[in-house]
Amino acid sequence: MPFGQIPGKLQEHHGISVPVSSAQAITQQHAEQILQTQLDTLKSDIPEADGVACLIVEMDGSMIPTVTTQATTLEGEKVDRRTTRQIGWQEARLVLARTPEQEYPVFGATLGTVDEAGEQLLASAIRAGVGQQTYVHGVGDGAPWIADQVAQQFGEPGRYLLDFYHLCDYLADASTVCAPENPKAWLEQQKRRLKHNFVAAVLKALHCHLEPDTVPDKIAPVRAAYRYIHNRLEQLDYKGAITAELPIGSGEIESAHRYVIQQRLKRSGSWWSVENAWAILALRVLRENQDWQSYWLDLAQKAA
């Protein structure tokens, strides 16, 4: 919940009076400890054991509001930091890994680079049971950095599947040009073809309606769909995924963005320093990974 709501909740349920500033300082202190521990214990080597038979991995980015301020003094005079604040956006990258049977995935997150997101993905996969013989099924949207990181961390191209529903959005835009008399039926036909790996037939259906090169990309939906598919031919084994009863869409990670990241870090009127946002994100991941009690038990043991 927002820091501003904490004093009222504590007073209502426990009769404790705590200023907002104290609630925020205590929370941030623990969040920073959690973040540091997560970074210090990040595993980066796939175990030599066979591991679980199959692992589903997903990753995606979400923008959160950030704010920066300059120094509080300038040429010996104090400066009101509110007058130097600059607002912007920072991408928070969330990853998950789970076996097909697991109800709750293992999460990881970072406000760092795409390589750091890949490290979080590998660490989450290790915790979820990846091994030398594990089949890793990655699924996500068409962002190149996601497919690159799945390949970099787990090897063997072809394990990454392009999100079926993102692809269908491109086809839906193209349908009104390719079949203006019945775009819905045309779209359903292409979906069936994709699910049976008849990608060449989909490309052929698009090719005969390609816009001239003189038409700008932003008003050329057929060209956009054709290019989107043609550039990702190795990521379209939907038939294999369906046969194996594995997901063909990345809705799980997109949903997780809402309850792991956005619910707390993207509230109306809230702006974060990158450092504080990163720490709170680590705290959120700790909760989602069912590590909350372990954290407090560890603190108690260290204090004993």
CA distances from 98 to 40, 41, 109, 228, 282 (A): 22, 20, 15, 28, 19
Q: Could you give the CA distance from residue 18 to residue 4 in angstroms, rounded to a whole number? A: 11
| Per-residue pLDDT, 95 | 98
Tokens 């390719």 correspond to 178
Q: Could you give the CA distance from residue 165 to residue 196 in angstroms, rounded to a whole number? A: 15
| Per-residue pLDDT, 69 | 74
pTM, two decimals, is: 0.90
For the purposes of burial, counting CB atoms within 10 Å of the CB of 60, is it exposed (0-12), middle (13-18) or buried (19 or more)? buried
Q: pLDDT tens for residues 19-46?
A: 999 999 999 999 999 999 999 999 989 9
| Per-residue pLDDT, 80 | 61
| Per-residue pLDDT, 73 | 55
Per-residue pLDDT tens, the chain, 304 aa: give them. Answer: 889 899 999 999 999 999 999 999 999 999 999 999 999 999 989 999 999 999 999 999 999 999 987 665 556 666 666 666 788 999 999 999 999 999 899 999 999 999 999 999 999 999 999 999 999 999 999 999 999 999 999 987 458 999 999 999 999 999 999 999 999 999 999 999 999 999 999 999 999 999 999 999 999 999 999 999 999 999 999 999 999 999 999 999 999 999 999 999 998 888 899 999 999 999 999 999 999 999 999 999 988 7
Q: pLDDT tens for residues 60-116?
A: 999 999 998 766 555 666 666 666 678 899 999 999 999 999 989 999 999 999 999
CA-angle at 17, arms to 12 and 23, nearest 5°: 100
Instruction: Look at phi and psi of residue 136 and say left if phi exceeds 0, alpha if psi is from -120 to 50, else beta.
Output: beta
Query: Could you give the residue ranges of the DSSP H alpha helices within the chain?
Result: 6-14, 20-40, 114-128, 144-154, 164-178, 183-195, 199-207, 221-230, 238-243, 251-256, 263-265, 274-288, 292-303
| Per-residue pLDDT, 78 | 65
Running DSSP on this structure, what letter comes out for residue 210? P
